[in-house]
Protein backbone atom coordinates (compact mmCIF):
# COMPACT_ATOMS: atom_id res chain seq x y z
CA UNK A 1 0.00 0.00 0.00
CA UNK A 2 1.13 3.50 -0.74
CA UNK A 3 2.15 5.02 2.58
CA UNK A 4 1.85 8.65 3.61
CA UNK A 5 1.41 10.20 0.20
CA UNK A 6 -2.41 9.87 0.38
CA UNK A 7 -5.00 11.45 2.37
CA UNK A 8 -5.77 12.14 5.93
CA UNK A 9 -3.31 10.91 7.63
CA UNK A 10 -4.80 8.04 4.82
CA UNK A 11 -1.81 10.23 5.31
CA UNK A 12 -0.44 9.64 8.69
CA UNK A 13 -2.41 6.80 10.20
CA UNK A 14 -1.12 4.38 7.58
CA UNK A 15 2.39 3.19 8.36
CA UNK A 16 4.62 0.15 8.43
CA UNK A 17 4.52 -2.80 6.07
CA UNK A 18 3.60 -2.01 2.49
CA UNK A 19 1.51 -5.17 2.09
CA UNK A 20 -0.12 -7.29 4.74
CA UNK A 21 -2.40 -9.67 2.88
CA UNK A 22 -4.38 -12.28 4.74
CA UNK A 23 -2.90 -15.65 3.65
CA UNK A 24 -6.31 -17.32 3.38
CA UNK A 25 -7.43 -14.60 0.98
CA UNK A 26 -4.58 -15.37 -1.40
CA UNK A 27 -4.97 -19.14 -1.06
CA UNK A 28 -8.71 -19.11 -1.65
CA UNK A 29 -8.27 -17.03 -4.79
CA UNK A 30 -5.62 -19.36 -6.18
CA UNK A 31 -3.03 -16.57 -6.17
CA UNK A 32 0.65 -17.65 -6.50
CA UNK A 33 2.59 -17.59 -3.23
CA UNK A 34 4.81 -14.71 -4.35
CA UNK A 35 1.75 -12.47 -4.88
CA UNK A 36 -0.07 -10.80 -1.99
CA UNK A 37 -3.44 -9.08 -2.14
CA UNK A 38 -4.72 -6.73 0.53
CA UNK A 39 -7.67 -4.41 0.87
CA UNK A 40 -8.80 -1.62 3.15
CA UNK A 41 -11.94 0.37 3.83
CA UNK A 42 -12.50 3.40 6.06
CA UNK A 43 -15.22 5.70 7.26
CA UNK A 44 -13.77 9.11 8.21
CA UNK A 45 -15.55 12.11 9.69
CA UNK A 46 -14.00 14.22 6.94
CA UNK A 47 -11.42 13.72 4.19
CA UNK A 48 -8.27 15.79 4.65
CA UNK A 49 -5.60 15.76 1.94
CA UNK A 50 -2.40 17.45 3.11
CA UNK A 51 -4.44 19.53 5.53
CA UNK A 52 -7.05 20.56 2.95
CA UNK A 53 -10.68 19.55 3.48
CA UNK A 54 -11.99 17.78 0.37
CA UNK A 55 -15.31 16.53 1.78
CA UNK A 56 -16.83 19.81 2.88
CA UNK A 57 -16.57 18.84 6.52
CA UNK A 58 -18.79 15.81 5.88
CA UNK A 59 -18.22 12.10 6.38
CA UNK A 60 -16.26 10.37 3.60
CA UNK A 61 -16.20 6.72 2.57
CA UNK A 62 -12.82 5.44 1.42
CA UNK A 63 -11.27 2.17 0.33
CA UNK A 64 -8.61 0.52 -1.74
CA UNK A 65 -6.97 -2.67 -2.92
CA UNK A 66 -3.29 -3.49 -3.44
CA UNK A 67 -1.45 -6.26 -5.26
CA UNK A 68 2.20 -6.84 -4.37
CA UNK A 69 4.96 -9.14 -5.58
CA UNK A 70 7.72 -10.69 -3.47
CA UNK A 71 10.22 -8.61 -5.45
CA UNK A 72 8.75 -5.46 -3.88
CA UNK A 73 6.81 -4.19 -6.89
CA UNK A 74 3.17 -3.29 -6.35
CA UNK A 75 0.10 -1.73 -7.96
CA UNK A 76 -3.05 -0.48 -6.32
CA UNK A 77 -6.15 1.66 -6.40
CA UNK A 78 -7.73 3.86 -3.74
CA UNK A 79 -10.88 5.96 -3.77
CA UNK A 80 -12.77 8.45 -1.65
CA UNK A 81 -16.03 10.31 -1.74
CA UNK A 82 -15.79 14.11 -2.06
CA UNK A 83 -18.05 17.10 -1.57
CA UNK A 84 -18.90 18.00 -5.15
CA UNK A 85 -20.57 21.32 -4.27
CA UNK A 86 -17.70 22.80 -2.23
CA UNK A 87 -14.57 21.45 -3.90
CA UNK A 88 -15.65 21.30 -7.56
CA UNK A 89 -13.83 18.02 -8.33
CA UNK A 90 -17.04 16.01 -8.53
CA UNK A 91 -18.14 13.50 -5.92
CA UNK A 92 -15.40 10.87 -6.41
CA UNK A 93 -11.62 10.68 -6.31
CA UNK A 94 -9.89 7.60 -7.72
CA UNK A 95 -6.14 7.10 -7.35
CA UNK A 96 -4.20 4.53 -9.36
CA UNK A 97 -0.58 3.87 -8.43
CA UNK A 98 2.37 1.55 -8.84
CA UNK A 99 5.87 1.37 -7.49
CA UNK A 100 8.51 -0.55 -5.58
CA UNK A 101 9.08 -0.86 -1.84
CA UNK A 102 11.85 -2.78 -0.09
CA UNK A 103 14.73 -2.74 2.35
CA UNK A 104 17.76 -0.95 0.92
CA UNK A 105 19.95 -1.45 4.00
CA UNK A 106 19.17 -3.22 7.29
CA UNK A 107 16.49 -1.19 9.04
CA UNK A 108 15.97 1.27 6.16
CA UNK A 109 13.10 0.85 3.68
CA UNK A 110 12.56 2.79 0.45
CA UNK A 111 9.28 3.34 -1.41
CA UNK A 112 9.21 4.90 -4.89
CA UNK A 113 6.44 5.11 -7.46
CA UNK A 114 3.95 7.10 -9.48
CA UNK A 115 0.32 7.94 -8.74
CA UNK A 116 -2.49 9.12 -11.00
CA UNK A 117 -5.19 11.21 -9.30
CA UNK A 118 -8.46 10.95 -11.23
CA UNK A 119 -11.72 12.85 -10.75
CA UNK A 120 -13.98 11.00 -13.19
CA UNK A 121 -17.12 13.09 -12.75
CA UNK A 122 -15.69 16.59 -12.34
CA UNK A 123 -18.43 18.93 -13.63
CA UNK A 124 -16.10 21.21 -15.59
CA UNK A 125 -12.52 21.00 -16.74
CA UNK A 126 -9.78 18.42 -16.38
CA UNK A 127 -8.59 17.99 -12.79
CA UNK A 128 -6.65 14.73 -13.27
CA UNK A 129 -2.91 14.86 -12.61
CA UNK A 130 0.14 12.64 -12.17
CA UNK A 131 2.64 12.69 -9.31
CA UNK A 132 5.85 10.78 -8.59
CA UNK A 133 6.87 10.01 -5.01
CA UNK A 134 9.64 8.56 -2.92
CA UNK A 135 10.29 7.99 0.78
CA UNK A 136 12.71 6.41 3.25
CA UNK A 137 11.53 4.79 6.48
CA UNK A 138 13.40 3.47 9.48
CA UNK A 139 12.50 1.90 12.82
CA UNK A 140 13.99 2.72 16.20
CA UNK A 141 12.59 0.40 18.81
CA UNK A 142 8.82 0.99 18.97
CA UNK A 143 9.13 4.13 16.81
CA UNK A 144 9.15 4.50 13.03
CA UNK A 145 10.21 7.58 11.06
CA UNK A 146 9.45 8.36 7.41
CA UNK A 147 10.73 11.22 5.27
CA UNK A 148 9.35 11.65 1.78
CA UNK A 149 8.81 13.81 -1.25
CA UNK A 150 6.09 13.94 -3.92
CA UNK A 151 6.39 15.94 -7.13
CA UNK A 152 3.78 16.73 -9.77
CA UNK A 153 5.38 18.16 -12.93
CA UNK A 154 3.78 20.88 -15.09
CA UNK A 155 0.36 19.75 -16.31
CA UNK A 156 -2.68 21.45 -17.85
CA UNK A 157 -4.83 20.38 -14.88
CA UNK A 158 -2.44 22.19 -12.53
CA UNK A 159 -2.66 25.43 -14.45
CA UNK A 160 0.58 24.70 -16.32
CA UNK A 161 2.33 24.69 -12.97
CA UNK A 162 4.09 22.09 -10.85
CA UNK A 163 3.74 21.05 -7.21
CA UNK A 164 6.28 19.89 -4.64
CA UNK A 165 5.34 18.23 -1.35
CA UNK A 166 7.83 17.41 1.42
CA UNK A 167 6.79 15.54 4.55
CA UNK A 168 7.89 13.57 7.55
CA UNK A 169 5.87 11.10 9.63
CA UNK A 170 6.52 9.70 13.08
CA UNK A 171 4.75 6.66 14.52
CA UNK A 172 5.14 5.12 17.97
CA UNK A 173 3.47 1.98 19.25
CA UNK A 174 2.96 1.97 23.00
CA UNK A 175 4.47 -1.33 24.19
CA UNK A 176 2.05 -4.00 25.42
CA UNK A 177 -1.00 -1.97 24.37
CA UNK A 178 -3.15 -1.78 21.21
CA UNK A 179 -2.51 1.97 21.04
CA UNK A 180 -0.18 3.76 18.64
CA UNK A 181 0.56 7.46 18.26
CA UNK A 182 1.40 9.39 15.09
CA UNK A 183 2.58 12.83 14.02
CA UNK A 184 2.89 14.40 10.58
CA UNK A 185 4.44 17.58 9.15
CA UNK A 186 4.20 18.56 5.50
CA UNK A 187 5.11 21.48 3.26
CA UNK A 188 3.53 22.22 -0.13
CA UNK A 189 5.01 24.53 -2.74
CA UNK A 190 2.91 24.81 -5.87
CA UNK A 191 -0.57 24.75 -7.30
CA UNK A 192 -2.22 22.39 -4.79
CA UNK A 193 -2.27 24.70 -1.78
CA UNK A 194 -5.42 26.85 -2.04
CA UNK A 195 -3.16 29.82 -1.15
CA UNK A 196 -2.27 33.14 -2.74
CA UNK A 197 1.48 32.48 -2.68
CA UNK A 198 1.35 28.74 -3.47
CA UNK A 199 3.00 27.76 -0.17
CA UNK A 200 1.53 26.02 2.86
CA UNK A 201 2.40 23.89 5.88
CA UNK A 202 0.16 21.13 7.23
CA UNK A 203 0.50 19.00 10.32
CA UNK A 204 -1.40 16.49 12.42
CA UNK A 205 -1.13 14.44 15.59
CA UNK A 206 -3.18 11.34 16.20
CA UNK A 207 -3.76 8.08 17.98
CA UNK A 208 -5.19 4.75 16.89
CA UNK A 209 -6.59 1.79 18.79
CA UNK A 210 -6.35 -1.70 17.26
CA UNK A 211 -9.58 -3.49 18.14
CA UNK A 212 -8.16 -6.64 16.55
CA UNK A 213 -5.80 -7.59 13.71
CA UNK A 214 -8.16 -6.10 11.09
CA UNK A 215 -10.22 -3.36 12.77
CA UNK A 216 -8.96 -0.06 14.18
CA UNK A 217 -10.31 3.22 15.49
CA UNK A 218 -8.42 6.48 15.05
CA UNK A 219 -8.56 10.16 15.89
CA UNK A 220 -6.34 12.99 14.64
CA UNK A 221 -6.06 16.72 15.04
CA UNK A 222 -5.35 18.20 11.58
CA UNK A 223 -4.39 21.77 10.74
CA UNK A 224 -2.71 23.83 8.01
CA UNK A 225 -1.24 27.29 7.72
CA UNK A 226 -0.74 29.57 4.75
CA UNK A 227 -2.00 32.68 2.96
CA UNK A 228 -5.24 31.00 2.00
CA UNK A 229 -7.63 32.29 -0.61
CA UNK A 230 -10.70 34.17 0.66
CA UNK A 231 -14.12 32.62 0.23
CA UNK A 232 -17.29 31.40 1.90
CA UNK A 233 -15.69 28.11 2.86
CA UNK A 234 -12.29 27.75 4.54
CA UNK A 235 -10.73 24.51 3.35
CA UNK A 236 -8.08 24.49 6.05
CA UNK A 237 -9.84 25.14 9.35
CA UNK A 238 -8.36 22.96 12.07
CA UNK A 239 -10.37 19.81 12.69
CA UNK A 240 -10.54 16.69 14.80
CA UNK A 241 -10.94 13.76 12.39
CA UNK A 242 -12.15 10.35 13.48
CA UNK A 243 -11.82 7.12 11.53
CA UNK A 244 -13.05 3.54 11.54
CA UNK A 245 -10.83 1.32 9.38
CA UNK A 246 -10.78 -2.33 8.40
CA UNK A 247 -8.10 -4.23 6.51
CA UNK A 248 -8.43 -7.62 4.86
Lowest mean pLDDT among 3-12, 137-146, 181-190: 3-12
Residue with more model confidence, 8 or 205:
205
Q: Which whole number is the average pLDDT over 73-77?
A: 98
- CATH class in words for 23-247: mainly beta
**pLDDT tens string 99-148:** 999 999 999 999 999 999 999 988 877 889 999 999 999 998 899 999 99
pTM: 0.85
Average confidence score pLDDT of the chain: 85
- β-bridge pairing 92-105 and 129-140: unpaired
Sorting pLDDT into bands at 50, 70 and 90, what band is 22?
Answer: very low
**pLDDT more than 70, % of the chain:** 81
Amino acid sequence: MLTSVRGLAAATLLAGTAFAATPAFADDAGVPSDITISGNASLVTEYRFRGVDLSGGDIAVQGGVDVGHASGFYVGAWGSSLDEDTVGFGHTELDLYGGWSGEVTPGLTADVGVIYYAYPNAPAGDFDYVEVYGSLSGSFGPASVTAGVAYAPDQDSLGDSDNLYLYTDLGVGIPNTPISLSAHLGYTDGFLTFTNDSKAFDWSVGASFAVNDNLSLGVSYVDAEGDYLPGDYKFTDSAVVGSLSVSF
